[in-house]
C-alpha cells in the first residue's frame, strides 16, 4: 500500500497518535521524502490498512496514490527510520564534562591519535571497542565529557571520518549536531544500541563490553637483583666551618686589642670625650699579654667610629654575644640557632672569632660580667688637686650627729598603739647589722634568713674615701643622665643597681631604696637580691628616722609580736609604711609569708589606710604581694590598680616619692630654674597687680584679692610659706569681712587648695563634701557666681568641667541634658555607675550619645578600667556616625586621654587615626572647630606622652601644623587660629625645638596692638583667650625668655575687661589670665627643664606599664 | 631598482637567499639574549608580515633591548627609526611632529614630520597604552591604514616595522581598538629562575659591549630592505590565482595550508573562542592567517605545519589570557 503524507508534521502525527497501527509502523517499509512544497513523504508498506484507518488517514490529509512513478523509495526497518534528522547549529550544541559521547571511527588507525589527543587534554575516561561490519572494521570510542577541541573533529567535516554521537534516550545515540524528532520514543531491541547518523542512516550496534584505555593501571615488573642497596654511613660527614668574606658594610661594635693594648686604651681615653667613653664598655683578659676588649654599649645612635690597632668585630646574625671580624662571615651559612649553639651557647659569655690562615678560626670568649663601663676605669684628675683646701677642711671639721630633715613628713600626731605594752622605738644607733647587697646573688641567697648579726654596710670611714665614693656616684649619675638609653633598657638595670649600692654605702638610704625599687621594677621577675637590699635599706632607714622596726631585735627576725606591734601604730610614719611594704615583698620573694598570712586582714587594712605614703612602685609591689598571698586576689589588685591610676591621673608621678633625687633636675639646672622663678615671683606679682588695676574698669576691686590668693597658692607651691601667709591673710581681711557668702565660699575653697600646697600635697581632688553642701544652700544667683569661677578655674576644679548654668537652663534644656550634667554632681560611685547604665540603655540620637559618651569618658577615672574599656570600645564606631567636628573632637580628645590613662594601646591607634582623619578634613575649619582642636591638642599631648608615644605626638603636631596653616598675610590670622598655633609652639618647645617664635611674636603683636579691643565684649573675650594661650606657650620656652615675656605682657596688655554678671564679685577674665600664669608657673613643666620633664614622663609611663602588665598576668592566671 | 618595484619572478629568484639571510639574522641575534629566541622569531615574523608586535612584560626583561638590538642588527639608520616613551602627558607633536608655524600663518595645518613617526620606517613606542586619546587616534590610523593626515589630507606613512612595549596590558574598553591592532602580543618574562648563570654572563657581556661602545650583533645578515622584499614576495604569493579556479584565497590555502592543519587551525580558533572567550576579531583572523604563512615560509620555507599553529599563543588580550594561551595552545595542538 502506498501512502503520501503531505508534510512531516502529518507523518509524525500519524505515527505518534496511533492512527497507523503500531505493528504497521514498526515493520519494514520503503520511504522517501520528495522535494515538493512542502516536502511530502511517501511510504510503501506491505501490510494492508483497514478502511477505518484509511478513513482516519484521509481525514488528516494522507492520500493513497496508486503508483509512485519516478520516485525511488528507500528501504527502512521501520517508519521512524524514514523520519529525517534535523541539523542543529554549532552554537546550540551543549555538552558537559559528564556527557557520554560515542565516537565512530571509520578508519581504525585514527583511534590511537584520537585517544591520545584526549588524554593530552586531560580526559582519561575513555573506552573503546572495534567491531567488524560487513568486512569493514569500525572503532567505537566511548568518552565521558570529551574536550570540545576533539568534538570539533566530528562536526561538519567528513574528511576526518569521525562521527560523534550523544545519547538521546536509552541506547539511542544521535550524531552530534543533529536531532531526531522521535529519538526519545525509540526503544532499540534488547542487546543492541542504535546509532542515528547525520544522513538519517540507522546503525544497530550489538552491545559489547568496551575496553578501557587504562585497563592496566599498574605494571608490576619482575624482580631483579638490585645493583644498589642502602647502607648506613659509618661516620657523619664533618664540615669544618670557615671564615669567608662578607658583611663589610657593617659598623664595628667591638675591638679586640692585643698589641700594646694598654697603651692604646690610655692614649684613647686621653684624647676622647667622656660622651664617647660612656658609649663603651671594656674588659681586660689577661693571658700572656693583656688582651683588651672594647665594646660599644647598645644605644639609639650609631656606634662611634674608633681607630684602634686590633681586631674589629661586629655582631653576627644578631646574636648579641657573638662577634665576627668585620668583613667576614661563617661559611657554610648556617641557621642562627645552629651558629649560636656552636659558637656562643652561653649567654653569659661574649664570644669573638679570631681568624687564622685559610679561613680557619678560633672562638675566644670572656665572661660578660668582665665588661664594665669604660668610664668606671677613667678618673679625670687635676694636676693641682685641692689638697691644701682638704687639709684646711680636715683640720676644722666639726663632727655633728646626722641631721634628719622631717619637713616632708606630715606633722607627727600623738601616736598610740593597741598593744598593752608600748615598745619604745629603737634608737638610731641601734646595732642593726644588715649587709647591703652589692653583688647580685643567686635566688638561694635571697632566701637566707636576714640576720641582725650581719655586719653593717661598709661605710667610708675617712673623708677621702667618702669623697671618692661621692665623686664616683656623681660621675655615674652624670653618665646615667647623659645616656640616651631609655629608662627601661637592660643596661639601665645595672646602672640602677650600682647607683643604689653607692647611695647605700654613702648612707643615702631613701635614695638607695628608690633606686632599688627601680631595679626591681624593671627586672623581669621580682629580682630577689634587689628585694633583699631594698628591705635592708628600709630597715636601716627606719632605724635612722627613729621609727618602729619590724625586726624583733632579740629574735633577730620578724616575729608575730613585732609585726603586730607595727600594724598597731595608728598614725605610722612613711618610714614605717615603707618598711612594711618592703618586708611584704621580701617575704613573698622568700616564700615565708606565714606571719603575714596570719594577720592578712590587718595588713590589708593597714595598706588601704596608708598607701598614699608610699611611692607608686612600693605601693604596687605591696598590693601584688598581698594579692599573691591571698591566692591570686585579682579583684583587690584591680582596685589597687584603679586607685594608683587615679593617683597618677591626678598628680602624675610624685617627684619626691617616685623619682630619684638626681633625676629630678637634669644637669643640676632644675633647682636653678626653681630659684630663679621664686626670686622673680614678687616682681611678677607686683606686675600682675598693676595689670589688673589697669584693666579692672567696672569689675569688683575684690579681683585683686583673688589674685593675691592665686599668688599665695604659688608661693605655697614654691615653699615661700611666709609670703603665702601674708597674701592669704590680706585676702581674708578683704574677702571675709564683707558679709557675702560668695566671697566667703570662694576664699575657703582657695584656702583649701593653698593648704594642700603648703602641706606638700598635690593641689588636686574634689573639694570637700561640706563645701558642696554649703554651696547648695546658697541662692541660685550666688551659686551661679561661685560655679562660674569653678567652671573656669582649674585651681578650684582641676579635673571636671561643670556647667554653672545648669540651674538656670534646667527649664530650657531637655531631660537628657539635665541628667548628663547632673552626673558630675554624683559622688557615690555605684550611683554614678547605675545612672550611666540607665542613660546608655535608653535609645539615643547620635549627637546625644556622643554627649553621653564624652561625659562617661570624663568620669571614667572614677569608675575604673572595666567601665572605661567598655566606653572606649564605643568611641570609634560612634565617631564614624558623627558629622559635627566639634563633637567629634571632644569625643576623640576624651577617648585619647582615657586610652592613655588606662593603657588601652589598642584603642589609641584607631583613635589617632580618626583624629588624623578629622584633622585632614579641617583644612579650612571654622573658629569653633579650631577651639575644639586646641583642646584636643592639649589633652592628646599629655596623654601620648604618658603612653610613651612621643613619635606619635610629634606626628600629630605636624599634622596640626598643616591643618592650622595660616594664610600668607599674618594680619589675616584669626585669634582662634593663632591660639592653636601657640599651642603648637608650646608642643615644639616640649620637644626642644624653637619652632614657635614666629607664632608667639604674631600673638604678641596682636595682643599689644589693641585691634581686638575694638570688637567690644567679643574682642575682650578673644583678647583674654589669646593672652592665656600666649602665657601658656611662652611658659614652655626657655626660662629667662618666658619671664621676660610675661613681664612685658603684663606691663602692656590691655583690653581684658569683664562686663559679665559676675563682675560684681570678680573679673572672670582677669582671673583667667592670672590663673593661667599661676598654673603655668606651678605646673609640672615650668620649674623643671625639658629633659627632667621627660624623665618624669618616662617614669610615669614605666610605672603604668608594669601595673598594667602585672594586672594582665594576674587576670590570665 | 627599488625593492617596491621588484616583480614576483625576481623576488621568487631571490626568495631562498632572502629567507636564508633573514633566518641567519634571527638566529644570530638570539645569541645575544637569554631565552629570547622565541621573541626574536616573533619580531622577525612581524617585521616580514609588517604587522605591529606588542611586547608585554615587567621592567627589566629586555623588551627595549630586544628592539634596539633588532634595529642595530637590521642596520636601520637613525633617520628611519623613531623611538618614544609615551606618557599621559605626551603631546601629539612629540610623536608626529610640531605644527609648522610658517604654514599655519598661511592657514595650513601642517606638521613638521621629519624625524617623527610618519617618516620612520621602523618605530618603537614604549608604554604605548599610557598615551592619551589624541595620540591613540593618530596611532590607530597610522597602524591600521598606514596613513597620516596633513592639513586634513591623508598621506601614506613609511612605517614598515612597528614594535611597542608595555609593562601592563590595560583592560579599559577605550583601549580595545588599539589592542586589536596588535594581532600578536608576546610576554617577555624574567629568565633568572631558569637561566641564572647564563643571564649573569650575558648581562655582563652586554655591559662590556655598552661600555666599549661595541655592537657585535650588527653582523649585517639582512637589512630592512630584505624584510620589505620578503613581505612583497609573500604578498604576491597571496595574490596569485589558480588558473583552474577563480578564487585567489583558495589557491594559496590549497598550496600552502594543508587541509588537516587548516582544520586544526579552525578547531583551535573555535575552541579558544568558545571555551575561553578569547576575542578574535575577523580582522585578526585574517591577519593571523597571513602571519601563519609568513612563519611557515620563514621557518620551514614551505607549507604551514602543525607547529606553526603555536602562533595562536600570542592572541591573548590580557595578562590572564596570555598566560592561559601560553599553556593551552601547545597542549591543544600537542606540541608542549
pLDDT digits (tens, 9 = 90+) for A500-513: 888 888 888 878 88
Cβ distance of A153 and B267 shorter than 8 Å: yes
Instruction: Please determine, for residue B67, whether its predicted confidence score (pLDDT) is greater than 90.
Output: yes
Q: B306: distance to nearest CA of chain A, Å?
A: 14
Is B259 near chain A, with CB under 8 Å?
A: yes
Cβ distance of B275 and A148 shorter than 8 Å: yes
Is A119 near chain B, with CB under 8 Å?
A: no
Query: What backbone phi and psi angles, to 5 degrees, belong to A1036?
Result: -90, -10
In whole angstroms, what is the distance from residue A985 CA to residue A1033 CA? 6
Instruction: Give this prediction's pTM.
Output: 0.44
Using CA atoms, how far residue A748 sits from A704, A721, A792, in Å, is 16, 18, 17
With beta carbons under 8 A apart, name residues in chain B contacting A117.
Answer: 334
Q: How confident is the model at residue A966 (pLDDT cuts 50, 70, 90)?
A: low
In whole angstroms, what is the distance from residue A1035 CA to residue A1056 CA? 20
Q: How confident is the model at residue A937 (pLDDT cuts 50, 70, 90)?
A: low
Q: Rounded to an integer, what is the distance from CA A957 to the centroid of its chain?
A: 19
Q: How confident is the model at residue B160 (pLDDT cuts 50, 70, 90)?
A: very high
Chain A: residue whose CA lies nearest to B333: A117
Instruction: Please determine, for residue A646, whether its predicted confidence score (pLDDT) is greater than 50.
Output: yes
Instruction: Please determine, for residue A113, whether its predicted confidence score (pLDDT) is greater than 70.
Output: yes
For A1064, what's the count of Cα atoms within 13 Å in the CB-facing half-sphere? 9
Which carries the bigger pLDDT value, residue A1015 or residue A620?
Answer: A620
Mean pLDDT score across all residues of chain A = 78
With beta carbons under 8 A apart, name residues in chain A contacting B261.
Answer: none
Q: Which of A234-238, A1005-1009, B170-174 has the highest mean pLDDT?
A: A1005-1009
Q: Which of A128-142, A631-645, A991-1005, B259-273 has the highest mean pLDDT?
A: B259-273
- Give the pLDDT score at B46: 96
In whole angstroms, what is the distance from residue A142 CA to residue A167 CA? 11
3-state SS assignment for residue A456: coil
- The span from the first CA to the last CA of chain B, in angstroms, equals 45
- Give the pLDDT score at B123: 95
In whole angstroms, what is the distance from residue A472 CA to residue A465 CA? 11
What integer is the mean pLDDT of A530-542?
84
Q: Rounded to an integer, what is the distance from CA B53 to the centroid of its chain?
A: 3
Encode B113-174 in three state secondary structure.
CCCCHHHCCEEEEECHHHCCHHHHHHHHHHHHHCEEEECCEEEECCCCEEEEEECCCCCCHH
- Give the pLDDT score at A441: 39
Which carries the bigger pLDDT value, residue A478 or residue B264?
Answer: B264
With beta carbons under 8 A apart, name residues in chain B contacting A160.
Answer: 263
Residues paired with residue A170 on neighbouring β-strands, in sequence order = none
Instruction: Please determine, for residue A398, whether its predicted confidence score (pLDDT) is greater than 50.
Output: no
Q: B91: distance to nearest CA of chain A, Å?
A: 35
Query: Residue A582 has which C-alpha cell?
Result: 618592703
Query: What backbone phi and psi angles, to 5 degrees, belong to A922?
Result: -105, 30
- Dump pLDDT digits (tens) for A344-393: 888 888 899 988 888 889 898 888 878 888 877 777 766 554 444 444 44
Cβ distance of B263 and A148 shorter than 8 Å: no
∠ Cα A240 A245 A247 (to 5°): 115
Locate cell 621609727: which residue? A547
- Dump pLDDT digits (tens) for B191-241: 988 889 999 999 999 899 988 888 899 988 999 999 999 999 999 888 877
- The span from the first CA to the last CA of chain A, in angstroms, equals 103
Cβ distance of B271 and A160 shorter than 8 Å: no
A884 secondary structure, DSSP code: -
Q: Rounded to an integer, what is the distance from CA A129 to the centroid of its chain?
A: 73
Is B254 near chain A, with CB under 8 Å?
A: no
3-state SS assignment for residue B227: helix
In whole angstroms, what is the distance from residue B100 CA to residue B112 CA? 6
What integer is the mean pLDDT of A1084-1095?
66
With beta carbons under 8 A apart, name residues in chain A contacting B272.
Answer: none
Cβ distance of A153 and B334 shorter than 8 Å: no
Query: Residue B58 has which C-alpha cell?
Result: 615587567
Residue A955 neighbours by CB under 8 Å, 6+ apart: none
In whole angstroms, what is the distance from residue A444 CA to residue A590 CA? 9
pLDDT more than 90, % of chain A: 2
Q: How confident is the model at residue A445 (pLDDT cuts 50, 70, 90)?
A: very low
- Residue closest to B302 by CA, chosen among B101, B65, B9, B19: B19
Instruction: Please determine, for residue B264, whether its predicted confidence score (pLDDT) is greater than 70.
Output: yes
Using CA atoms, how far residue B150 sits from A349, A415, B109, B178, in Å, is 84, 112, 7, 22
Instruction: Please determine, for residue A427, whether its predicted confidence score (pLDDT) is greater than 50.
Output: no
Is A781 near chain B, with CB under 8 Å?
A: no
Cβ distance of A121 and B331 shorter than 8 Å: yes
In whole angstroms, what is the distance from residue A236 CA to residue A225 CA? 29
Cα dihedral across residues A906, A910, A912, A913: positive or negative: positive
Is A95 near chain B, with CB under 8 Å?
A: no
- Dump pLDDT digits (tens) for A754-800: 887 777 666 777 788 788 888 888 888 888 888 888 888 888 887 65
Locate cell 591607634: which residue? A909
Cβ distance of A152 and B332 shorter than 8 Å: no
In whole angstroms, what is the distance from residue B320 CA to residue B336 CA? 19
- Give the pLDDT score at B52: 94
Do A555 and A549 contact (CB within 8 A), yes or no?
no
Q: How many CB pairs under 8 A join A and B?
A: 27
- Dump pLDDT digits (tens) for A815-868: 777 777 777 777 777 888 888 888 888 888 888 888 888 888 888 877 777 788
Mean pLDDT score across all residues of chain B = 89
- Dump pLDDT digits (tens) for A680-716: 888 888 889 998 888 888 888 889 999 999 999 888 8
Cβ distance of B332 and A160 shorter than 8 Å: no
Cβ distance of B266 and A152 shorter than 8 Å: yes
In whole angstroms, what is the distance from residue A423 CA to residue A428 CA? 15
- Give the pLDDT score at B315: 92
With beta carbons under 8 A apart, name residues in chain B contacting A90.
Answer: 270
Peptide bond into A38 cis (omega under 30): yes
Chain A: residue whose CA lies nearest to B266: A152
A452 secondary structure, DSSP code: T
Is A97 near chain B, with CB under 8 Å?
A: no
Instruction: Please determine, for residue A73, whether its predicted confidence score (pLDDT) is greater than 70.
Output: yes
With beta carbons under 8 A apart, name residues in chain B contacting A147.
Answer: 271
- Give the pLDDT score at A185: 83
With beta carbons under 8 A apart, name residues in chain A contacting B259.
Answer: 159
With beta carbons under 8 A apart, name residues in chain A contacting B278.
Answer: none
pLDDT more than 70, % of chain A: 82
- Residue closest to B258 by CA, chosen among B216, B300, B312: B300
Query: What backbone phi and psi angles, to 5 degrees, belong to A131?
Result: -125, 145
With beta carbons under 8 A apart, name residues in chain A contacting B274.
Answer: 148
With beta carbons under 8 A apart, name residues in chain B contacting A94.
Answer: none
Which carries the bigger pLDDT value, residue A361 or residue A940?
Answer: A361
Pairing of strands A2-5, A40-45: antiparallel
Which range has the worst mean pLDDT, A250-259, A595-604, A1071-1080? A595-604
With beta carbons under 8 A apart, name residues in chain A contacting B275.
Answer: 148
In whole angstroms, what is the distance from residue B324 CA to residue B336 CA? 13
Full DSSP string of A812-863: TS-HHHHHHHHGGG---HHHHHHHHHHHHHS---HHHHHHHHHHHHHHHHHH
Instruction: Please determine, for residue A431, whether its predicted confidence score (pLDDT) is greater than 50.
Output: no
Query: Residue B292 has which C-alpha cell?
Result: 601563519
- Dump pLDDT digits (tens) for B25-44: 999 999 999 999 999 999 99
Cα dihedral across residues A357, A358, A362, A368: positive or negative: positive
- Give the pLDDT score at A610: 84
Using CA atoms, how far residue A300 sits from A25, A485, A1105, B99, in Å, is 102, 7, 21, 61
With beta carbons under 8 A apart, name residues in chain B contacting A116.
Answer: 334
Is A157 near chain B, with CB under 8 Å?
A: yes
- Give the pLDDT score at A763: 72
Q: How confident is the model at residue B118 (pLDDT cuts 50, 70, 90)?
A: very high
- Give the pLDDT score at B161: 94
What integer is the mean pLDDT of A245-257?
81
Chain B: residue whose CA lies nearest to A154: B267
Is A121 near chain B, with CB under 8 Å?
A: yes
- Give the pLDDT score at B57: 92
Q: B333: distance to nearest CA of chain A, Å?
A: 8
Extended beta strands in A430-494, E state: none
Is B277 near chain A, with CB under 8 Å?
A: no
Is B106 near chain A, with CB under 8 Å?
A: no
Query: Residue A929 has which C-alpha cell?
Result: 572647630
Interface test with B, best of A152, A156, A161, A162 (most B CBs within 10 A): A152
Cβ distance of B267 and A152 shorter than 8 Å: yes
Which range has the worst mean pLDDT, A19-33, A397-411, A747-761? A397-411
Instruction: Please determine, for residue A421, whether its predicted confidence score (pLDDT) is greater than 90.
Output: no
Using CA atoms, how far residue A1104 sits from A523, A645, A900, A902, A1109, in Å, is 15, 7, 10, 8, 8
Amino acid at each position: 500500500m502506498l501512502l503520501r503524507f503531505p508534510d512531516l508534521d502529518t507523518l509524525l502525527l500519524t505515527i505518534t497518535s496511533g492512527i497507523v497501527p503500531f505493528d504497521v509502523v514498526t515493520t519494514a517499509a520503503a520511504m522517501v521524502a520528495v522535494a515538493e512544497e512542502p516536502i511530502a513523504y511517501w511510504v510503501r508498506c506491505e501490510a494492508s490498512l483497514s478502511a477505518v484507518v484509511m478513513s482516519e488517514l484521509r481525514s488528516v490529509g494522507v492520500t493513497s496514490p496508486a503508483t509512485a512513478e519516478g520516485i525511488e523509495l528507500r528501504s527502512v526497518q521501520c517508519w521512524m527510520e524514514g523520519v529525517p534528522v534535523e541539523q542543529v547549529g554549532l552554537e546550540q550544541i551543549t555538552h558537559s564534562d559528564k556527557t557520554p559521547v560515542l565516537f565512530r571511527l571509520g578508519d581504525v588507525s585514527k583511534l590511537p591519535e584520537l585517544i591520545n589527543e584526549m588524554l593530552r587534554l586531560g580526559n582519561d575516561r575513555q573506552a573503546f571497542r572495534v567491531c567488524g561490519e560487513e568486512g569493514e572494521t569500525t572503532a567505537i570510542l566511548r568518552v565521558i565529557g570529551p574536550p570540545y577541541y576533539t568534538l570539533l573533529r566530528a562536526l561538519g567535516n567528513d574528511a576526518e571520518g569521525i562521527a560523534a554521537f550523544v545519547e538521546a534516550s536509552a541506547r539511542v545515540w544521535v550524531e552530534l549536531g543533529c536531532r531526531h524528532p522521535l529519538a526519545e520514543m525509540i526503544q532499540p531491541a534488547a542487546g543492541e544500541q542504535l546509532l542515528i547518523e547525520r544522513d538519517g542512516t540507522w546503525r544497530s550496534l550489538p552491545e559489547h563490553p568496551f575496553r578501557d584505555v587504562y585497563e592496566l593501571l599498574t605494571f608490576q615488573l619482575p624482580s631483579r637483583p638490585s645493583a644498589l642497596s642502602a647502607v648506613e654511613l659509618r661516620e657523619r660527614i664533618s664540615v669544618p666551618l670557615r671564615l669567608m668574606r662578607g658583611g663589610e658594610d657593617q659598623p664595628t661594635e667591638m675591638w679586640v686589642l692585643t698589641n700594646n693594648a694598654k697603651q692604646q686604651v690610655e692614649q684613647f681615653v686621653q684624647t676622647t670625650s667622656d660622651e664617647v667613653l660612656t658609649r663603651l664598655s671594656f674588659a681586660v683578659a689577661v693571658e700572656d699579654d693583656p688582651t683588651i676588649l672594647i665594646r660599644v654599649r647598645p644605644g639609639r645612635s650609631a656606634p662611634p667610629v674608633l681607630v684602634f690597632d686590633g681586631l674589629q668585630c661586629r655582631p653576627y646574625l644578631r646574636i648579641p654575644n657573638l662577634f665576627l671580624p668585620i668583613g667576614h662571615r661563617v661559611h657554610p651559612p648556617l641557621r642562627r640557632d645552629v651558629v649560636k649553639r656552636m659558637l656562643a651557647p652561653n649567654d653569659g659569655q661574649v664570644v669573638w672569632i679570631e681568624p687564622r690562615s685559610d679561613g680557619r678560626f678560633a672562638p675566644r670568649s670572656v665572661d660578660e660580667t668582665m665588661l664594665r663601663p669604660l668610664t668606671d676605669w677613667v678618673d679625670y684628675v687635676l694636676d693641682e688637686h685641692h689638697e691644701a683646701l682638704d687639709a684646711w677642711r680636715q683640720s676644722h671639721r666639726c663632727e655633728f650627729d646626722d641631721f634628719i630633715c622631717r619637713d616632708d613628713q606630715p606633722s607627727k600626731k600623738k601616736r598610740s598603739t593597741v598593744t598593752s605594752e608600748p615598745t619604745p622605738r629603737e634608737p638610731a644607733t641601734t646595732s642593726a647589722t644588715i649587709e647591703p647587697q652589692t653583688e647580685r646573688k643567686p635566688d638561694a641567697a635571697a632566701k637566707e634568713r636576714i640576720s641582725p648579726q650581719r655586719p653593717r654596710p661598709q661605710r667610708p670611714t675617712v673623708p677621702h674615701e667618702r669623697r671618692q665614693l661621692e665623686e664616683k656616684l656623681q660621675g655615674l649619675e652624670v653618665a646615667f643622665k647623659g645616656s640616651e638609653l631609655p629608662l627601661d633598657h637592660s643596661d639601665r638595670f645595672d646602672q640602677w643597681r650600682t647607683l643604689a649600692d653607692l647611695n647605700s654605702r654613702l648612707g643615702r638610704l631613701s635614695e638607695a631604696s628608690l633606686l632599688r625599687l627601680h631595679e626591681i621594677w624593671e627586672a623581669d621577675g621580682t629580682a630577689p637580691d634587689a628585694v633583699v637590699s631594698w628591705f635592708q635599706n628600709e630597715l636601716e632607714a627606719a632605724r635612722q628616722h627613729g621609727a618602729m622596726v619590724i625586726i624583733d631585735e632579740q629574735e633577730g627576725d620578724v616575729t608575730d609580736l613585732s609585726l603586730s606591734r607595727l600594724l598597731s601604730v595608728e598614725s605610722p610614719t612613711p618610714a614605717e609604711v615603707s618598711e612594711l611594704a618592703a618586708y611584704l615583698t621580701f617575704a613573698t620573694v622568700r616564700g615565708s609569708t606565714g606571719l603575714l598570712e596570719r594577720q592578712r586582714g590587718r595588713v590589708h587594712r593597714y595598706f588601704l589606710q596608708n598607701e598614699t605614703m608610699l611611692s607608686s612602685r612600693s605601693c604596687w609591689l605591696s598590693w601584688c604581694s598581698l594579692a599573691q598571698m591571698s591566692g591570686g586576689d585579682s579583684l583587690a589588685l584591680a582596685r589597687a590598680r584603679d586607685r594608683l591610676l587615679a593617683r597618677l591621673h591626678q598628680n602624675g608621678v610624685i617627684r619626691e616619692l617616685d623619682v630619684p633625687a638626681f633625676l629630678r633636675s637634669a644637669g643640676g639646672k632644675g633647682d636653678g630654674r626653681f630659684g630663679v622663678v621664686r626670686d622673680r615671683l614678687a616682681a611678677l606679682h607686683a606686675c600682675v597687680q598693676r595689670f589688673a588695676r589697669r584693666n579692672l574698669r567696672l569689675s569688683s576691686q575684690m579681683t585683686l584679692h583673688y589674685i593675691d590668693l592665686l599668688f599665695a597658692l604659688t608661693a605655697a607651691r614654691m615653699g615661700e610659706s611666709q609670703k603665702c601667709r601674708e597674701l592669704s591673710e590680706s585676702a581674708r581681711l578683704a574677702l571675709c569681712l564683707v558679709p557675702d557668702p560668695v566671697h566667703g565660699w570662694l576664699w575657703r575653697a582657695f584656702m583649701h587648695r593653698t593648704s594642700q600646697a603648703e602641706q606638700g600635697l598635690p593641689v588636686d581632688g574634689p573639694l570637700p563634701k561640706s563645701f558642696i553642701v554649703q554651696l547648695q544652700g546658697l541662692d541660685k544667683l550666688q551659686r551661679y557666681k561661685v560655679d562660674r569661677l569653678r567652671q573656669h578655674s582649674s585651681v578650684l576644679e582641676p579635673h571636671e568641667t561643670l556647667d554653672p548654668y545648669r540651674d538656670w537652663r534646667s527649664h530650657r534644656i531637655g531631660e537628657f541634658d539635665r541628667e548628663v550634667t547632673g552626673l558630675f554632681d554624683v559622688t557615690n560611685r555605684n550611683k554614678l555607675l547605675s545612672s550611666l547604665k540607665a542613660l546608655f540603655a535608653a535609645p539615643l540620637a547620635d549627637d546625644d550619645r556622643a554627649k553621653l559618651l564624652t561625659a562617661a569618658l570624663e568620669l571614667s577615672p572614677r569608675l575604673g578600667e572595666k567601665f572605661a574599656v567598655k566606653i572606649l570600645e564605643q568611641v570609634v564606631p560612634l565617631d564614624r556616625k558623627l558629622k559635627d567636628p566639634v563633637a567629634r573632637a571632644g569625643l576623640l580628645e576624651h577617648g585619647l586621654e582615657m586610652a592613655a590613662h588606662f593603657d588601652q594601646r589598642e584603642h589609641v591607634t584607631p583613635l589617632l587615626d580618626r583624629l588624623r582623619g578629622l584633622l585632614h578634613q579641617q583644612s579650612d575649619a571654622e573658629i569653633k572647630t579650631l577651639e575644639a582642636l586646641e583642646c584636643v591638642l592639649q589633652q592628646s599631648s599629655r596623654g601620648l606622652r604618658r603612653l610613651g608615644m612621643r613619635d606619635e605626638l610629634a606626628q600629630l603636631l605636624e599634622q596640626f601644623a598643616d591643618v592650622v596653616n595660616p594664610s600668607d598675610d599674618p594680619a589675616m590670622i584669626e585669634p582662634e587660629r593663632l591660639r592653636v598655633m601657640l599651642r603648637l609652639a608650646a608642643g615644639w618647645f616640649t620637644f626642644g625645638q624653637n619652632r614657635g617664635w614666629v607664632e608667639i611674636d604674631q600673638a604678641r603683636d596682636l595682643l599689644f596692638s589693641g585691634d581686638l579691643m575694638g570688637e567690644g565684649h567679643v574682642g575682650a573675650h578673644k583678647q583674654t583667650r589669646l593672652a592665656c594661650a600666649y602665657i601658656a606657650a611662652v611658659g614652655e620656652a626657655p626660662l629667662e625668655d618666658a619671664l621676660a615675656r610675661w613681664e612685658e605682657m603684663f606691663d602692656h596688655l590691655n583690653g581684658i575687661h569683664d562686663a559679665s554678671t559676675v563682675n560684681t564679685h570678680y573679673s572672670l577674665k582677669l582671673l583667667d589670665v592670672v590663673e593661667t600664669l599661676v598654673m603655668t608657673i606651678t605646673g609640672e613643666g615650668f620649674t623643671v627643664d625639658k629633659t627632667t620633664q621627660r624623665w618624669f614622663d618616662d617614669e610615669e609611663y614605666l610605672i603604668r606599664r608594669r601595673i598594667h602588665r602585672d594586672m594582665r598576668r594576674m587576670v590570665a592566671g | 631598482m627599488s625593492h617596491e618595484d621588484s616583480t614576483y619572478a625576481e623576488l621568487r629568484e631571490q626568495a631562498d637567499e632572502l629567507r636564508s639571510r633573514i633566518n641567519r639574522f634571527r638566529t644570530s641575534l638570539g645569541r645575544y639574549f637569554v631565552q629570547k629566541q622565541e621573541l626574536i622569531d616573533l619580531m622577525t615574523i612581524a617585521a616580514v608580515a609588517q604587522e605591529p608586535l606588542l611586547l608585554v612584560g615587567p621592567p627589566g626583561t629586555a623588551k627595549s633591548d630586544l628592539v634596539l638590538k633588532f634595529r642595530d642588527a637590521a642596520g636601520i639608520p637613525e633617520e628611519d627609526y623613531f623611538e618614544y616613551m609615551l606618557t599621559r602627558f605626551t603631546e601629539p607633536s612629540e610623536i608626529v611632529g610640531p605644527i609648522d608655524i610658517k604654514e599655519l600663518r598661511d592657514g595650513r595645518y601642517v606638521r613638521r614630520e621629519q624625524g617623527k613617526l610618519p617618516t620612520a620606517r621602523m618605530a618603537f613606542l614604549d608604554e604605548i597604552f599610557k598615551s592619551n586619546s589624541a595620540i591613540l587616534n593618530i596611532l590607530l590610523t597610522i597602524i591600521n591604514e598606514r596613513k597620516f593626515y596633513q592639513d586634513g589630507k591623508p598621506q601614506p606613512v613609511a612605517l614598515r616595522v612597528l614594535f611597542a612595549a608595555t609593562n601592563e596590558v590595560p583592560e579599559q574598553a577605550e583601549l580595545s581598538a588599539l589592542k586589536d591592532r596588535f594581532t600578536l602580543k608576546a610576554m617577555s618574562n624574567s629568565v633568572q629562575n631558569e637561566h641564572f648563570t647564563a643571564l649573569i654572563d650575558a648581562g655582563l657581556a652586554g655591559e662590556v659591549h655598552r661600555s666599549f661602545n661595541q655592537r657585535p650583533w650588527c653582523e649585517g645578515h639582512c637589512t630592512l630592505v630584505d624584510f620589505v622584499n620578503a613581505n612583497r614576495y609573500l604578498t604576491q604569493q597571496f595574490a596569485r590565482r589558480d588558473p583552474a579556479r577563480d578564487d585567489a584565497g583558495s589557491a594559496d590555502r590549497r598550496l600552502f595550508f594543508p587541509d588537516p592543519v587548516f582544520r586544526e587551525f579552525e578547531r583551535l580558533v573555535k575552541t579558544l573562542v568558545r571555551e575561553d572567550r578569547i576575542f578574535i576579531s575577523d580582522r585578526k583572523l585574517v591577519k593571523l592567517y597571513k602571519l601563519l604563512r609568513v612563519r611557515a615560509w620563514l621557518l620551514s620555507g614551505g607549507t604551514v605545519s602543525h607547529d606553526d599553529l603555536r602562533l595562536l599563543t600570542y592572541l591573548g588580550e590580557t595578562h590572564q589570557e596570555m598566560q592561559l594561551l601560553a599553556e593551552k595552545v601547545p597542549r591543544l595542538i600537542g606540541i608542549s
